Amino acid sequence: MSTPFPPTRSPAPATVGLTMVLGCYLLWGMFPLYFRLLAAAGSLEIIGHRILWTLATCLVTVALLRHWGRLRAALAMPRLAGSLVVSGVIITLNWLIYVYGVNSGRTADAALGYFINPLVTVALAALFLGERLRRLQLVALALAGVGVLVLVVAQGTLPWVSLGLAGTFGLYGLAKKRSGAHVDALTGLTVESLAVAPLAAAYLGCLAAQGRTVFQGAQASPSIGALLLIAGPVTAVPLLLFAAGARRVTLTTIGMVQYLGPILQFLLAWLVFHEEISGARWAAMALVWAAVAVFVIDLVAQIRSRDRFLAHVVQGRLRTLRARPIAAAPGRADRGDPRGEMEAPGVMRRPVPRHGPPGRGHAADQ
């Protein structure tokens, strides 16, 4: 009898992972819209609230998931806890530079920083971890370097917002590389937020004592106050989506999807915030985009080469197993049975007919 409703098929893990990763970078790409609404609060006040409310969000999530044991274990390991304190300070600097860049009309520079961030990460890996750079990676780094040089010549100053964002996020990735194998994303973010929370609380306390917060005085804004209160979920949700989705998709997917964030940020700077994009900046962006294209091509080529190598190894192993003779299991032949038949356990054997006269055994049975 057929059921009236066919069973629903759950989505493939890769599809779920891609949805999570896309959602993460989509939210990161839309961050400038959120921080522009908070411009009246000032960059330091925004970061102070972001730290405290991120910590509150993480602690609530830890309580709901009952992950207190993981948190205690991370805090009980001095080396791991120290690494997370360092990464917490670095990501706080990254947030501060980003918020300042967006609220000072430099969203395009912030986007440029995240475009070159993967290249900076590769350079840091070569510098601190001893990883060798491939030829296409060197080409990509050279193109990005020329792009930055064009901006320096055209503007007369270093694009420090771009370089600051790329450098701090690259160092954050390096710190997470050392601690990521020992701690999950939620626990790591909780300890990082806990490390810098005293500084945030002290700054907001001083600001409140002087009556200069967005919640005080004639300029007090309940709407901005409400937006600051959701800074925790706004920060934590994309990070948790990325941590959950990255385990379900390939590195190639992440390598290409990660540019969705800076693309959206650049489009917001150009089409929504109407920031001035000079000819020199367009030229620099073109060079950086060319570097990104070379970087992605190299990434895809390396992963395909690795997959072909693994497939070759697996096929060779299978051929070896098929060619190897299978040793006969000990059966009746080892006990002197001339028929050499092996009996499976629990299977009754068909009796062999006897051809001699009744009462006389077969010659082979005597």
pLDDT digits (tens, 9 = 90+) for 104-113: 999 999 999 9
Q: Which residue has the tokens 């989506």?
A: 241
Kindly state the tokens that stand for 79: 């080396």
* H-helix or E-strand spanning residue 163: helix 160-179
**pLDDT value, residue 72:** 94
**pLDDT value, residue 195:** 95
**pLDDT value, residue 350:** 52
**Is the pLDDT at 15 greater than 70, yes or no?**
yes
**pLDDT value, residue 147:** 87
For 345, other C-beta atoms within 10 Å of its C-beta total: 4
pLDDT in tens, 182-233: 788 889 889 999 999 999 999 999 999 988 888 876 667 788 888 998 998 9
Better-scored residue on pLDDT, 278 or 129:
278
Percent of the chain with pLDDT over 70: 83
Q: How far is CA 10 from CA 14, 15, 244, in A?
A: 12, 10, 17
DSSP state of 156: S
**pLDDT value, residue 1:** 47
Q: What is the identity of the amino acid at 189? A: L
For 294, other C-beta atoms within 10 Å of its C-beta total: 21
Phi and psi at residue 113, in whole multiples of 5°? Answer: -60, -40
Name the nearest CA neighbour of 155 among 98, 208, 108, 203. 108
**Is the pLDDT at 177 greater than 80, yes or no?**
no
What's the whole-model pTM score? 0.75
C-alpha 267 chain-centroid distance? 24
Phi and psi at residue 325, in whole multiples of 5°? Answer: -65, 140
Please give the angle made by the CA atoms of 122, 126 and 131, to the nearest 5 degrees. 100
**Is the pLDDT at 180 greater than 80, yes or no?**
no
**Is the pLDDT at 6 greater than 70, yes or no?**
no
Kindly state the tokens that stand for 222: 């309940």
Least confident of 27-36, 123-132, 251-260, 291-300: 251-260
DSSP state of 104: T
**Is the pLDDT at 27 greater than 90, yes or no?**
yes
Q: Are 100 and 161 in contact (CB under 8 A)?
A: yes
pLDDT in tens, 311-329: 777 777 777 777 766 555 5
**Is the pLDDT at 341 greater than 50, yes or no?**
no
The domain ranges of the chain are 14-214+224-316
CA–CA distance, 170 with 176 (Å, rounded to integer): 10
pLDDT band at residue 298 under the 50/70/90 scheme = confident
DSSP state of 296: H
Average pLDDT over residues 293-307: 81
Average pLDDT over residues 109-132: 85
**pLDDT value, residue 60:** 95
Q: What is the identity of the amino acid at 94? A: N
Average pLDDT over residues 123-143: 85
**pLDDT value, residue 340:** 46
Q: Are 262 and 115 in contact (CB under 8 A)?
A: yes
Q: Which residues contact 202 (CB under 8 A, 6 or more apart)?
A: none
Q: Hey, CA dihedral for 58, 61, 67, 68, is it positive or negative?
A: positive
**pLDDT value, residue 104:** 92
Kindly state the tokens that stand for 159: 């694009």
Kindly state the tokens that stand for 73: 């274990």
Kindly state the tokens that stand for 363: 């010659």
Average pLDDT over residues 52-63: 94
Percent of the chain with pLDDT over 90: 36
